Chains A and B, each alone.
Chain A
Amino acid sequence: MPLLVALSAMGTRFEFVLAGEPDAPPVRALAEEALAIVAELDRRLSRFRRDGLPAALARAAADATAQNGDSDGTLRATREEIVLLELCRRAHARSGGAFDPAHHSSPDPAAPDAVLAPATFADVRIVRRDRRVGVPACAAPLDFGAVAKGYALDLAVRALARGGVRAGLLHGGTSSVVALGAPPGRAAWRVAVRDPADDGEPPRALATVALRDAALSVSAPHGSTREAGGRRVGHVVDPRDGAPVERVRVAAVVARHGATSEVASTALLVRAERAIRAAAVDDPPALRRRLFACAELLPPAAAALVAFEAGGALHSVLLGSHAAVFSDVAAPRAFAVPCPETSP
């Protein structure tokens, strides 16, 4: 029997399943240490807490404005925070703004499409040498969202591996998964990517993923919804124009680390939506070209599955040089063809 430990954090449930002797004190102690890492990152990165980094940065920026130049509005950050912020900066640039933790869409139903933050992540100042960071005074608090989950899982896995744990599966809210090694006697952990639009029990799987020392991130617009233009849409919007993601049902990315797979799946969801919007459904080659171009968002040695609705049907496409990690792909239409080798 494996050891299962769990924690409520980041607005969801984290579960760690660790192979080995479940009652052996070192394994449990390591598991609790890993949970403590997640809890601590939850406290530091949450935008809903007064004692988190996003609120502290907003206060520092406001104080700097009020003090009229006495302060530059930057704060000292921890090493882990700087690493995460730099990852976000690279991902923001690489995605052309499709991934943007500085973006904040209005939760106000009266102004559903308003984009409150005049700033983008490019406006966040990060001074690596001094480990300092600052945001513009007018910006909404940074929203690390899912990338915080992926990053927390990365640090948790690192602590487990350092302690000698060889096999485990960790997830945060089931949409962020990081695999350490493989189950005893198996080649990899097998994880199903479910169709969020299917309410069957169990829900239909869009694909199965084989994970070994790798991470899976699944981004989707389902979950919380809001009114926009007289209809219900998902909570995910393109940070660049506020347009809601409607056609892409799932963007799933497999990469080496949780944080990098999270930023890639978020950006891919948004970019794929724009690609589908721009291409005619009755021109499969053009649509395929546009979707394959999204592979540039992926980190090295990564793979992605994009499932989307077009012409009243569900389609899926595989991207990246390691697309073979996806199997049993539900692909009832013409786009279910693994793409050629693509360079990230």
Chain B
Amino acid sequence: MTRTDRRGFLQQVAGSLAAVALAPELLPLPPPRRGAPLAIGVVGAGGRQGRAILTELLKFEAAKVAAVCDVRDERLKQAVRRASGAAAYADPKKMLDEQKDLVAVVVTTPTHRHRDVVVDALKAGKHVYCEAPMAASLEDLKSIAAAAREAKTVFQAGHQLRSNPVYQLARSFLVSGNIRDVVQVRAQWHQKTSWRVPGDDPELNWRLAKKNACGLPLEAGAHQVDVVTWYLGKFPTAVRGHGALLSWNDGRDAPDTVEASLAFPDGVRMHWDATLANSFDGQHELFVGTMGTIKMAETFGWLFKEADAPTQGWEVYASREKFHSEEGITLIADATKLAKQGKLKEGIGLPNPPLYYALQDFLKSVAEGKPATCTAADGFRAAAIALRIDEAIAKGEELAIGPEQLQGS
């Protein structure tokens, strides 16, 4: 094999390795060959996440937003402008009654308002994509899980990182032993923001009130807990935590800075913290192993190898990034295709926001009858553990995480 041949071969091997679990996810959803696109209703369409969902749904030729629903008039008008031609509703029940052609419903209301909309939509025979966290109480989680179990339609919980090609790639590295034994997990969610939504109605700022249990542990932590349990394939057995209101003394009572330590059965602990006071290093998850560390940050991922870790041939051509004294190998999702084109570096990041891939998985499941990427049971466990973190912070004591939290689904 000539030097050039070897180089090309190794680049392609690198691409193949990197793309093992990913090729299907990066294929765009094909347009429907026959008939109309899937008619979708979006409930809670006027909020920030609702707007993001409408923007991403636009990209799918196989889908059409046929109805939008929001209880607030101004937000509803904006949603209609965004989803040109969609019918407008203030009441989700009325939408379900009148829009018989709806195939699927996307629920992006405030978390503590998910239950009724989801259960009604499932009972009406619709496929449902429910934004994560799935609910804000154990009772609501149980109701949604039961409705999803009984339904003959697809239910997908919106833990979108499970659909994220970079996260899937990194998981394949971790599961195949690339960093060997995981001894520690760290995750953080840092933003500098009041987290307030403009408007006089206190209901708009549901995340800031303790009574809703929708603070940082649930709204930020549930997603990261889901990633960690998905990666490790196991669940924590105990949690202790601490929280305080340190920066935003503006009438809210939910802490703006929190941290928790979750114990896993084999002695591994996950340290998680979140704050609304500082944005340093943003959102990421760090899996520390005996032969390396994987760092994940939304659409980016890196592998940091220990000096004594074995070297694989493809690493010679991998893209690298320097972080102070460390050098990370950039994890590139669609590496096979890009390596063939000699454009491996251009593959850093993703061609779409993470939300796109979650919606794509959902639409594929609906169109092809495939199981959801993130089931109601997955959504149940992530939210239930997050609720336990919230409770541990409120009580200031270590709490066990048992069957009630993990098997109630």
Contacts and interface: CB of A to CB of B under 8 A. Distances in A.
Interface of A: 23, 25-26, 28-30, 32-33, 36, 43, 49-51, 55-56, 59, 75-79, 131, 163
A51 B196 contact: no
B198 A33 contact: yes
B349 A51 contact: yes
B238 to A, nearest CB: 36
Nearest to A23: B250
Contacts of B281: none
Contacts of B197: 29, 33
Query: Mostly helix, strand, loop or mixed at chain B's interface?
Result: loop
B57 to A, nearest CB: 9
29 contacts: A23-B250, A25-B251, A26-B198, A26-B199, A28-B194, A28-B196, A29-B194, A29-B197, A29-B198, A32-B193, A33-B197, A49-B349, A50-B347, A50-B348, A50-B349, A51-B350, A51-B351, A51-B352, A55-B351, A59-B351, A75-B59, A76-B61, A77-B58, A78-B82, A79-B81, A79-B82, A131-B58, A131-B84, A163-B198
Nearest to A29: B196
Given A32-B193, A36-B48, A49-B349, A79 B84 contact: yes
B150 interface: no
Contacts of B196: 25, 28-29, 32
B25 to A, nearest CB: 15
A134 to B, nearest CB: 14
A330 to B, nearest CB: 40
A30 B299 contact: no
Nearest to A129: B84
A23 B251 CA distance: 12
Interface residues of B, number: 26
Contacts of B353: 43, 51
B357 to A, nearest CB: 11
A50 B351 contact: yes
Contacts of B81: 79
B331 to A, nearest CB: 14
B407 interface: no
A25 B347 CA distance: 41
Contacts of A56: 351
A30 B198 contact: yes
Interface string B331-357: 000000000000000111111110000
Interface of B: 48, 55, 58-59, 61, 81-82, 84, 193-194, 196-200, 250-251, 299, 346-353
Contacts of B48: 36
Nearest to B194: A28
A95 B250 CA distance: 50
B250 A51 contact: no
B74 to A, nearest CB: 8
B65 to A, nearest CB: 11
3 nearest A-B pairs in the assembled complex, by CB-CB distance: A29-B196, A29-B198, A30-B198
A51 B349 CA distance: 8
A75 B58 CA distance: 9
A222 to B, nearest CB: 30
B349 A25 contact: no
A32 B276 CA distance: 13
Contacts of B61: 76
Contacts of A59: 351
Contacts of B251: 25
Contacts of A131: 58, 84
A286 B46 CA distance: 56
B203 to A, nearest CB: 14
Nearest to B61: A76
A76 B83 CA distance: 11
Contacts of A32: 193-194, 196
A191 B281 CA distance: 35
Contacts of A29: 194, 196-199
A59 B338 CA distance: 13
Contacts of A26: 198-200
A29 B250 CA distance: 12
B408 to A, nearest CB: 35
Contacts of B351: 50-51, 55-56, 59
A281 B194 CA distance: 57
